[in-house]
């Protein structure tokens, strides 16, 4: 089957969405094979391959070799006839099979005849036998051998080396069998983490083994397996003694997102498998100069076979020093790990008597040390040899810069060892190796992987241990507690910018410090400012250093992945600085200086970090542990010295930088002020922090209406309804009313339904912070009921909207609403006035070109009519806000170079966004848009719902002519839109709420028919004394009907038919009809007569000319 677009060549080709999806959909429909997995691979291609700079491109080298290749090292994707997989497991697993099926879909685009062999559930060797029997000896085969990491235990009581050795032996046995019996085969070995998050270390683990440590252990375990299997294949010559068989280890483990455990635990497994498949595909290809990466706009670019490198990867055709950790000697061997220091202070005496003030505290007065933090304080990998990646799992707490107590200052420099030069009886420090639960860790309660939200737990643990230990006089001993946290927060900030916002991080740190302040007497807390982690990027930008960058990408992707100069990189810098600034402002607020026996001192030596470099200008790895992320003992030595020196320096004159290459001698207390420096003994005055600006997402409104009282008696007419009379609010609609992505700051948050801020039905907070229709109504009736709150799906109040809904779904939503109203104990169904907002049609319009038969304007109106009929027939005392469908054409102007806007926007509304300007397709869509608006007006004002006094439908037309908001440079103001450039942000919802409310305050013939999205806190209109009612068609004129009609329609009575605004007598209509028919007949006869005469003359003229010839 030919591909739908011409072949395009270039130095770098990309899989494209249009070709892949179109091609696969056609084939899948023919074969009836459009399974969930196949749908997922289409989504995978869509997410992975869309690039605003490249349009309509797919992999250029899509043809097979000119002749059947004789060497496995010249095998192209299109040469593969069979793809299969083995999983090194005896239990049933589905993730790997799902990935195999998706990989087959990609190979299908190169060779439509490729087949997939899925082994039955048996033992590993039985599965290998099954595959060897199933595969044809003459066809070229691609076989994946998965090594699932999640089945290996990493518990401390397990022999990890033995486990890895056993796994490698099993790999070797399997490969030996395959090598013996298979021909024409390329085997790729895959160290695989899968998408399961609960299998690692599920048995026999020590108490307290948490998610953060599991994540770090899993990452290191993958690295060790990668290294061990690489060594095996090197030793066995990659099983390459034949030209028709070779084994290749994929260049890096295939893993899900491990940098954020919250994200990992809540991720979608189908999507995860898709992303894993994408990694498999990338690793199958010969290595490119440009690797798979995310550019500054968040768009993935995926390498494809090129004319220069068209083959699947083997060791022979793709040798690179990056293929295995063990292939390259460490260019910078670890120096002597024993780093001592000398202190020359003459006066090391304590105070004459135990001080009662923290501001008169000498170093020798300190009796207890403690620490809280993450892996940098737990000292992961500090004592590991440079080539021992396994050592990163070990917590060398006795060497930790702020709390370690191994040996003494002459051999190991730590804060406790410095303090022991002043008071040998200091206690609380950690020694040796172990977790925070080990007795040797004592008051070192740092946890690897911890974030700022763990500070409360650690604070409680430190206090508990202090109180229970007989060596500590909790009330009288002076204590130094060092708190250092935030590195893992900055590493994960891009995954959830709201959760890891500077305000949140500071809040969590404040909560931990508050506990210490409240419960711990006689304490000086060192709050070490967040490490400037950005210089770490340099270690991973130079491949000659041999750093396991792929591993650090898992631990700290938000720091490593952004490109220099990109928007993401700028956000990283701003976030890091905001974290540091927030900590300073917290301390300088004076919050912890309420009494003399406690204070918090900010130690800022990490504010500006200078990366250590060698003489050739390259980063010096000796300051880092084997993973090039954690710090070595050499660095811990300098950190301990810098911390001590900060403690000796007065506030206002503290060193705020760390130059690892500079020698740092230990300072001594000043004779004139021999104390640990605090704000008081430094004669320092805290800067008054600037007033906190309102949050950027505060789109509240000011309220100036004076007359907010309800009617004196409950009205019986919908045309005499004041805002204060409304008791119940409800809404039906689609994702706009569900507030889909209203607070999203990235694609992961897009699917969140923030119903509490929904324009027509949300009720979060108050009008001053969140502008919604219910929050406005609360000013008139604080007891209004039915609004939705927070973030959730249905049910949530009487917000019945469903994301993705079309008009055909509204009758069911109305039925659910009626049931909910009847069932609610807080609603007086017969007497309470209800305000129902209906807004639907965006999805009908956006998908119209794909289903014209079902989405015609007449079908749309039919569904709306059925919905309104139900309300009219069954619900008393209702006012319906029918918000007209928006003019969607201007959505084409909303553009942004991000993955969401460049990709998802067109996916959500293809019929309006894909056609080119002035094309027949776009003109058709404009007409349908206008027809929907016109037919809506006819339905609402056709008289069909005029038979009840306690029922009214009002068309609110503020979306009829939408005007895109612009900024000063003439481009659209994207702050009104979510990250997909399609749904509205919270700011957009606030503007919609204001426009809806103001439409309700305007007479029918004078309603504003546009929404220009100009935000102003003072735009809310008020009812007037002359017209205090919500406007309907009847009360908009001078004559308001007062005739009482039945409040319900009797069963069996037909609703009034739709009728035009002006009535015409029946006899006049008949005469006009007959007259029109006669007139039309005469005009038609004249047209045909004239045409016949003209044709006859032309025929005669032609005959005469023919005679002359």
Residues paired with residue 799 on neighbouring β-strands, in sequence order = 731
Report which DSSP code applies to 85: E
CA separation for the pair 219, 387 (Å, rounded):
16
Q: Residue 293's pLDDT is what? A: 44
Q: Residue 598's pLDDT is what? A: 97
CA separation for the pair 1012, 38 (Å, rounded):
42
DSSP H/E element including 1033: none
Instruction: At 146, list the tokens.
Output: 């998965």
Residues 6+ apart with CB under 8 A from 864: 807, 810, 838, 840, 882, 936, 939
Q: Residue 269's pLDDT is what? A: 63
CA separation for the pair 230, 323 (Å, rounded):
8
Q: Residue 121's pLDDT is what? A: 61
Q: Residue 153's pLDDT is what? A: 60
**Smallest Cα–Cα separation from 718: which of 248, 972, 1042?**
1042
**Smallest Cα–Cα separation from 984: which of 740, 646, 733?**
740
Q: Residue 856's pLDDT is what? A: 92
3-state SS of 500-555 is CCHHHHHHHHHHHHHHHHHHCCCEEEEEECCCCCHHHHHHHCCHHHCCCHHHHHHH
Q: Residue 96's pLDDT is what? A: 85
Q: For residue range 773-825, what is the model confidence (pLDDT) as tens digits?
A: 999 999 999 999 999 999 988 889 999 999 999 999 999 999 999 999 999 99
Residues paired with residue 880 on neighbouring β-strands, in sequence order = 836, 953
Q: Residue 214's pLDDT is what? A: 72
Angle, CA 156 vertex, CA 150 and CA 159 arms, to 5°: 80
Residues 6+ apart with CB under 8 A from 352: none
Q: How many CA atoms lie within 13 A of 349 on its CB side?
A: 5
Instruction: Break the chain into its structural domains and give their ranges.
Output: 17-327, 358-659, 721-1036, 1064-1099
Q: Residue 211's pLDDT is what? A: 65
- Which residues in the chain come in under a pLDDT of 70? 1-62, 121-125, 128, 153-159, 194-213, 256-271, 288-303, 319-338, 498, 660-662, 688-697, 899, 903, 962-963, 967-970, 1012-1015, 1038-1109
- Sign of the four-CA dihedral 166, 172, 174, 176: negative
Whether 358-659 shares its CATH topology with 721-1036 is answered yes
Token pair 């009288």 in the structure block, residue: 476
Centre a 10 Å sphere on the Cβ of residue 606 and count the other Cβ atoms it contains. Answer: 23
Token pair 């013939």 in the structure block, residue: 1005
Q: Residue 289's pLDDT is what? A: 42
Instruction: At 936, list the tokens.
Output: 């809506």
Q: Residue 262's pLDDT is what? A: 43
Q: Residue 531's pLDDT is what? A: 87
- The answer to whether the beta carbons of residues 570 and 506 sit under 8 Å apart is no
Token pair 């095998």 in the structure block, residue: 75
SS3 state at 883: strand
Q: Residue 831's pLDDT is what? A: 95
Residue 789's Cα: distance from chain center in Å?
22
**Smallest Cα–Cα separation from 550: which of 919, 227, 894, 772?**
227
Superfamily (CATH) of domain 721-1036: SGNH hydrolase (3.40.50.1110)
Residue 754's Cα: distance from chain center in Å?
15
Instruction: At 388, list the tokens.
Output: 């021992």
Report which DSSP code applies to 280: H
Buried b (16+ CB within 10 A) or exposed e, 948-960: bbbbbbbbbbbbb
CATH of segment(s) 358-659: 3.40.50.1110
For residue 581, give Cα distances in angstroms to 34, 88, 585, 607. Answer: 53, 50, 6, 10
């Amino acid at each position: 089957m030919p591909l739908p677009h011409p072949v395009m060549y270039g130095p770098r080709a990309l899989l494209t969405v249009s070709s892949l999806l179109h091609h696969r959909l056609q084939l899948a429909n023919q074969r009836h094979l459009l399974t969930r997995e196949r749908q997922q691979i289409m989504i995978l291609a869509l997410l992975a391959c869309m690039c605003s700079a490249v349009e309509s491109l797919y992999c250029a080298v899509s043809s097979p070799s000119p002749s059947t290749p004789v060497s496995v090292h010249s095998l192209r994707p299109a040469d593969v006839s069979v793809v299969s997989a083995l999983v090194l497991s005896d239990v049933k697993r589905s993730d790997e099979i799902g990935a195999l099926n998706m990989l087959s879909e990609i190979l299908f685009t190169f060779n439509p005849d490729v087949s997939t062999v899925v082994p039955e559930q048996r033992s590993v060797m039985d599965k290998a036998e099954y595959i060897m029997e199933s595969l044809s000896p003459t066809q070229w085969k691609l076989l994946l051998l998965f090594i699932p990491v999640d089945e290996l235990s990493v518990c401390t009581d397990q022999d990890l080396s033995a486990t890895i050795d056993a796994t490698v032996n099993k790999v070797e046995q399997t490969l030996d069998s395959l090598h013996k019996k298979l021909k024409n085969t390329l085997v790729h070995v895959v160290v695989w983490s899968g998408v399961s998050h609960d299998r690692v270390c599920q048995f026999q683990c020590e108490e307290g083994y948490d998610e953060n440590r599991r994540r770090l252990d899993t990452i290191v375990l993958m690295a060790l397996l990668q290294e061990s299997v690489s060594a095996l294949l090197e030793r066995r010559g990659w099983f390459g003694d034949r030209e028709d068989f070779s084994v290749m280890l994929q260049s890096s483990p295939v893993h899900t997102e491990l940098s954020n455990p919250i994200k990992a635990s809540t991720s979608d497994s189908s999507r995860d498998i898709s992303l894993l498949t994408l990694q498999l595909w990338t690793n199958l290809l010969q290595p490119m100069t440009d690797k798979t990466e995310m550019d500054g706009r968040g768009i993935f670019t995926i390498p494809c076979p090129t004319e220069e490198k068209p083959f699947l990867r083997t060791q022979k055709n793709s040798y690179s020093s990056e293929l295995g950790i063990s292939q390259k000697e460490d260019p910078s061997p670890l120096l002597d790990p024993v780093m001592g220091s000398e202190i020359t202070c003459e006066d090391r005496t304590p105070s004459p008597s135990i001080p009662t003030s923290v501001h008169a505290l000498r170093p020798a007065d300190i009796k207890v040390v403690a620490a809280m933090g993450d892996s940098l304080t737990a000292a992961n990998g500090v004592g590991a040899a440079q080539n021992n990646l396994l050592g990163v799992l070990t917590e060398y707490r006795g060497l930790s810069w702020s709390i370690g107590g191994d040996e003494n200052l002459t051999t190991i420099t730590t804060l406790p060892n410095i303090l022991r030069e002043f008071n040998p009886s200091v206690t609380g420090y950690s020694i040796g190796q172990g977790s925070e639960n080990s007795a040797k860790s004592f008051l070192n309660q740092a946890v690897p992987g911890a974030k700022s939200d763990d500070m409360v737990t650690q604070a409680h643990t430190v206090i508990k241990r202090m109180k229970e230990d007989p060596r500590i006089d909790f009330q009288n001993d002076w204590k130094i507690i060092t708190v250092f946290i935030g590195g893992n927060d900055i590493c994960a900030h891009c995954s959830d910018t709201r959760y890891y916002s500077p305000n949140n991080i500071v809040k969590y740190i404040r909560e931990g410090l508050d506990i210490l302040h409240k419960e711990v007497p006689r304490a000086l807390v060192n709050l070490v400012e967040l490490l400037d982690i950005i210089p770490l990027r340099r270690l991973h930008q130079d491949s000659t250093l041999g750093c396991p960058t792929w591993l650090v990408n898992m631990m700290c992707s938000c720091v490593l992945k952004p490109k220099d100069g990109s928007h993401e990189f700028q956000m990283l810098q701003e976030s890091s600085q905001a974290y540091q600034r927030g900590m300073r402002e917290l301390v300088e607020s004076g919050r912890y200086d309420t009494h003399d026996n406690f204070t918090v001192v900010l130690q800022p030596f990490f504010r500006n970090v200078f990366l250590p470099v060698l003489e050739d200008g390259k980063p010096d790895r000796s300051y880092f542990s084997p993973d090039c992320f954690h710090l070595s003992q050499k660095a811990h030595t300098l950190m301990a010295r810098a911390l001590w020196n900060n403690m000796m320096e007065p506030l206002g004159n503290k060193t705020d930088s760390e130059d690892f290459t500079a020698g740092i001698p230990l300072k001594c207390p000043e004779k004139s002020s021999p104390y640990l420096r605090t704000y008081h003994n430094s004669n320092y005055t805290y800067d008054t922090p600037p007033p906190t600006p309102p949050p950027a997402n505060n789109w509240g409104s000011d309220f100036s209406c004076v007359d907010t009282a309800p009617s004196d008696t409950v009205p019986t007419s919908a045309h005499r309804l004041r805002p204060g009379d409304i008791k119940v609010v409800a809404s039906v609609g689609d994702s706009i009313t569900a507030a889909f992505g209203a607070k999203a700051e990235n694609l992961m948050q897009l699917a969140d339904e923030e119903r509490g801020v929904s324009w027509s039905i949300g009720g979060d907070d108050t009008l001053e912070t969140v502008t919604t229709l219910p929050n406005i109504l609360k000013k008139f009736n604080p007891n209004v009921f039915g609004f939705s709150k927070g973030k959730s799906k249905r049910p949530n109040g009487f917000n019945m909207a469903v994301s993705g809904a079309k008009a055909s779904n509204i009758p069911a939503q109305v039925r659910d609403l009626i049931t909910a109203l009847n069932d609610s104990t807080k609603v007086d169904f017969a007497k309470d006035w209800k305000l129902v907002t209906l807004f639907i049609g965006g999805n009908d319009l956006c998908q119209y070109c794909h289903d014209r038969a079902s989405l015609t304007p007449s079908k749309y109106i039919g569904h709306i009519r059925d919905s309104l009929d139900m309300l009219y027939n069954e619900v008393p005392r209702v006012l319906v806000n029918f918000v007209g469908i928006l003019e969607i054409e201007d959505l084409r102007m909303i553009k942004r170079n991000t993955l969401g806007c460049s990709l998802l926007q067109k996916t959500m509304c293809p019929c309006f966004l894909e056609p080119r300007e002035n094309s027949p397709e776009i003109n058709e869509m404009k007409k349908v848009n206008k027809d929907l608006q016109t037919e809506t007006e006819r339905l609402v004002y056709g008289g069909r719902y005029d038979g009840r006094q306690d029922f009214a439908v009002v068309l609110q037309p503020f979306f009829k002519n939408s005007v895109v908001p612009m900024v000063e440079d003439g481009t659209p103001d994207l702050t009104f839109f979510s990250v997909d450039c399609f749904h509205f942000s919270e700011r957009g919802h606030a503007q919609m709420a204001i426009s809806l409310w103001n439409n309700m305050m305007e007479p029918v013939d004078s309603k504003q028919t546009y929404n220009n999205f100009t935000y102003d806190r003072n735009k809310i209109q008020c009812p007037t004394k002359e017209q205090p009612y919500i406007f309907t068609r009847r009360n908009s004129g001078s004559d308001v009907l007062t005739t009482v009609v039945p409040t319900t329609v009797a069963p069996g009575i037909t609703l009034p038919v739709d009728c035009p605004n002006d009535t015409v007598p029946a006899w006049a209509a008949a005469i006009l009809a007959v007259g029109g028919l006669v007139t039309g007949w005469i005009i038609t006869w004249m047209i045909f007569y004239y045409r016949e005469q003209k044709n006859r003359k032309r025929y005669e003229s032609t005959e005469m000319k023919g005679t002359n010839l």
